[in-house]
A and B are shown apart, each in its own frame.
Chain A
Amino acid sequence: MGPVLVEEMIAGSTDLANPVLFKEHRALSAGPRGDTDIDYPKMSARELNVSYGGKAALHDVALDIPRNKVTALIGPSGCGKSTFIRCLNRMNDIIDNCRIEGVVDLDGENIYAQDRDVVQLRTRIGMVFQKPNPFPKSIFENVAYGPKIHGMARDREELNGIVLGSLERAGLLDEVRDRLDAPGISLSGGQQQRLCIARAIAVRPEVILMDEPCSALDPIATERIEELIMELKAQYTIIIVTHSMHQARRLSDKTGFFHMGRLVEHGDTEEVFENPRDDRTRDYVTGRTG
């Protein structure tokens, strides 16, 4: 596949690949769009309690996620930040003995409501996991799977457009454009993670959840992903769980600090790192514990 051809495909990939039109499309479905105002959070959790087989993992968590910002969740291992992020797209549903109480709103509607369609919900909220987990299929098929099952493309050409556009936005296209048929597993760890990001954005989500996306990557690959997150922030609401305080500081606008299943402190990243109100937060962000 020659480079010229690929450019043409992206150019011809309809309005879905056009960021401006795409934003408007989201605005329609997302209800009132507050600027960066936390009064209109993209997602918000209230009185969220989670337990695994009777063992409590989250206590009474309340947190607002602002639109088109990066929210970082930090805290020591086992503090509940991964549990929290997995509640946001109901990924915890597949864990048998997991009990979830409370409310999580997406654009003001409870995602745990009785009649909520989980499949549709997960289309709106994409997820990138800690360990890169591409399907054991080709690079193309990895990205095309989501659009295919949702019937997003009318024909092969449109599908090509979506796949190439997604790879482009995930910053991977230049590296893989001449081997789209190669297995996704054959890529390096960092490339695999970007492939997973491409796969997530291929179904046009509004929110992307990232559960320690760089913990299995080397510093250079990490830097690539961080750059990518900064770019994606313009179009998506991003929530990232991270162990690296530096990463949280570099990337995020808002930060939440979890400790032993409680959201101890949250606010502007600057504020949380410079002037933490809680002692536990101060100890953690200054490297004294954790």
Chain B
Amino acid sequence: MNNTADTSDDLANDLATDLPGITTRIEARLAARHRAEKRFRLLSILAVWVGLAFLGVLFVIIVHSGADAFRQTKVLVDVRLEPKDFGAPGTVDRETLGRANYQGLMKRSLREAFPQVTSRKDRKGLYRLVSSGAAFELREKVLQAPELIGQTISIWVTASDDVDMIVKGVVPRKARVDHRRLGDNQMGWLEDLESAGRVELGFNWAFFTAGDSREPELAGIAAAVIGSLYSVLVCLAIAFPLGVMSALYLESFAPRNRWTDFIEVNINNLAAVPSIVFGLLGLAIFLNVLHLPRSAPLVGGMVLALMTMPTIVIAARVAIKGVPPSVREAALAVGASPVQAVFHHVLPLAMPGILTGTIIGTARALGETAPLLMIGMVAFVVDIPTSALDPATALPVQVFLWSDIPERAFAERTSAAILVLLGFVCLMNLTAVLLRKKFEIRW
């Protein structure tokens, strides 16, 4: 004991003699270390704020340019529904009613509202104030209430996109004639309608209920949303079980050898493959070899599943690794079989992590465009798909398609579609958080 005490005393003496002023040296260094600490914290806070600022700017721009698409200009038109316009008097069967010339009715009503417009060219300009879809809205109304025939009804119909842009102020009224799409006389008629209280901005239901259209005021995202929904469901149904089972096997049962190392490396590689490559694979295998239908959400979902599976495998493996081995050992020690130990104890504890990874992977799949282009989900789809085999497009592809069209009204619809897409992604992330909270078991 004495021996050790002596050595430590010696050491202290040695330090004092060998390194004079050692205390001041340490103090000087200490100040520099504190400064470094402060600097680092400031920089970190700055980094966070820069990130947030970019996000904010992005969001403001999209909302600013997209918000207008949620409203649509409507025009009140008085329509005289004369019985002779609907075939023989007394016939009220839907087929005859549906075949009537509503386009003509609409034109006649506009002509009667503006009797001063006489020349053929001017009349054409007058007709262009309302959308070509207005006749269909009239048809709907008549089919719903055939008893209105014989009366004069007032009906709000969708205005054309050119009128819409002026009313919303996207195109300024004072703009030079060649900068706006409405001529001076059309502007005059519009002002007449406005002063009569026949122009109104209402909620744009068509945007959420209609498929794509060449007319921006009639174009909606319903077909794309449903297509996306089918694709994501197919993707989840394939990728989640495959991914979780692979992860469970690799993490809990597979022996660690060169083969499993090889598989692990390749799953990591797969997660980093550009998404368009998966699209090419889908085109080559699913369409050309298996002859699955083109443009179908089924194939889109299968391609997205290929892309999402590695992400799920990686997330699930991390989550499974994070479960304390003592839980598995405890289960095995009371005689649980390895599969029971995994399914009764490891999997439930890993579930929050697995779900988070899955939903983040799926959210990425939801926003994916490139692989869908390859398998033909880039079509002009007017009809809302009713199954995963119908031709469809997806929300991000719809954004991509609209962004290519020069009309101003499509520009705001592009931003609005992006907003809807962002909304879905936020919703999914929120679900991820809630599910994690629900499944989390506190230790």
- Residues in B with CB closer than 8 Å to A91 are 329, 332-333
Distance (whole angstroms) from the CB of B219 to the closest CB of chain A: 52
A129 within 8 A of partner (CB): yes
A46 within 8 A of partner (CB): no
Name the interface residues of A73-130: CB closer than 8 Å to any CB of B: 89, 91, 94, 96-97, 119-120, 122-123, 126-127, 129
Is there contact, CB below 8 Å, between B335 and A129?
A: no
Is there contact, CB below 8 Å, between B326 and A129?
A: yes
Q: Please, how many angstroms separate the alpha-carbon atoms of A129 and B442 in the complex? A: 21
Partner-contacting stretch, out of A14-22, A55-63, A198-206 = A198-206
Distance (whole angstroms) from the CB of B435 to the closest CB of chain A: 17
Is there contact, CB below 8 Å, between A131 and B344?
A: no
- Residues in A with CB closer than 8 Å to B438 are none
Is there contact, CB below 8 Å, between B326 and A146?
A: no
Is there contact, CB below 8 Å, between A203 and B334?
A: yes
A149/B336 contact (C-beta < 8 A), A96-B256, A136-B443, A185-B443 known = yes
- Per-position 1/0 for B403-443, Cβ under 8 A of A: 00000000000000000000000000000000000000111
Residue from B336, B337, B441 with most neighbouring chain A CB atoms (10 Å): B336
B345 within 8 A of partner (CB): yes
B340 within 8 A of partner (CB): yes
Residue in B328, B329, B334, B441 whose beta carbon sits within 8 Å of that of A136 in the complex: B441
Is there contact, CB below 8 Å, between A135 and B335?
A: no
Is there contact, CB below 8 Å, between A133 and B334?
A: no
A23 within 8 A of partner (CB): no
Distance (whole angstroms) from the CB of A154 to the closest CB of chain B: 18
B255 within 8 A of partner (CB): yes
Residue from B256, B330, B337 with most neighbouring chain A CB atoms (10 Å): B330
Chain A contact patch, size range: 20 to 34
- Residues in B with CB closer than 8 Å to A136 are 327, 349, 441-443
Which residue of A has the minimal Cβ distance to B333?
Answer: A127
Q: Please, how many angstroms separate the alpha-carbon atoms of A237 and B324 in the complex? A: 29
Is there contact, CB below 8 Å, between B327 and A146?
A: no
Is there contact, CB below 8 Å, between A133 and B443?
A: no
Which residue of A has the minimal Cβ distance to B257?
Answer: A96
B201 within 8 A of partner (CB): no
Distance (whole angstroms) from the CB of B95 to the closest CB of chain A: 66
Chain B contact residue count (CB 8 A cutoff): 23
Which residue of B has the minimal Cβ distance to A123?
Answer: B335
Which residue of B has the minimal Cβ distance to A133?
Answer: B326
Q: Please, how many angstroms separate the alpha-carbon atoms of A15 and B332 in the complex? A: 26
Is there contact, CB below 8 Å, between A119 and B337?
A: yes
Is there contact, CB below 8 Å, between A149 and B335?
A: yes
- Residues in B with CB closer than 8 Å to A123 are 334-335
- Residues in B with CB closer than 8 Å to A179 are none
- Residues in A with CB closer than 8 Å to B349 are 136
Is there contact, CB below 8 Å, between B327 and A135?
A: yes
Residue from B329, B334, B338 with most neighbouring chain A CB atoms (10 Å): B334
- Per-position 1/0 for A184-205, Cβ under 8 A of B: 0100000000001001101100
Q: Please, how many angstroms separate the alpha-carbon atoms of A122 and B255 in the complex? A: 22
- Per-position 1/0 for B346-359, Cβ under 8 A of A: 00010000000000
- Residues in B with CB closer than 8 Å to A25 are none
Is there contact, CB below 8 Å, between B334 and A145?
A: yes
Name the interface residues of A229-272: CB closer than 8 Å to any CB of B: none
Is there contact, CB below 8 Å, between B335 and A122?
A: yes
Is there contact, CB below 8 Å, between B329 and A203?
A: no
A277 within 8 A of partner (CB): no
- Residues in A with CB closer than 8 Å to B345 are 135
B331 within 8 A of partner (CB): yes
Q: List 27 A-B contacts (CB under 8 A).
A: A91-B333, A94-B332, A119-B335, A119-B336, A119-B337, A120-B335, A122-B332, A126-B333, A127-B329, A127-B333, A129-B326, A129-B329, A133-B324, A133-B329, A133-B330, A134-B330, A135-B327, A136-B441, A145-B334, A146-B334, A149-B336, A149-B344, A185-B442, A196-B330, A199-B330, A200-B334, A202-B334
List 18 additional contacts besides A94-B328, A149-B344; criterion CB under 8 Å.
A94-B329, A119-B335, A122-B333, A129-B326, A129-B329, A129-B330, A133-B324, A133-B329, A135-B327, A136-B327, A136-B349, A136-B441, A136-B442, A146-B334, A149-B335, A149-B340, A202-B334, A203-B334
Counting from the closest, the 6 A-B pairs by CB-CB distance are A146-B334, A123-B335, A133-B326, A127-B333, A136-B441, A133-B330
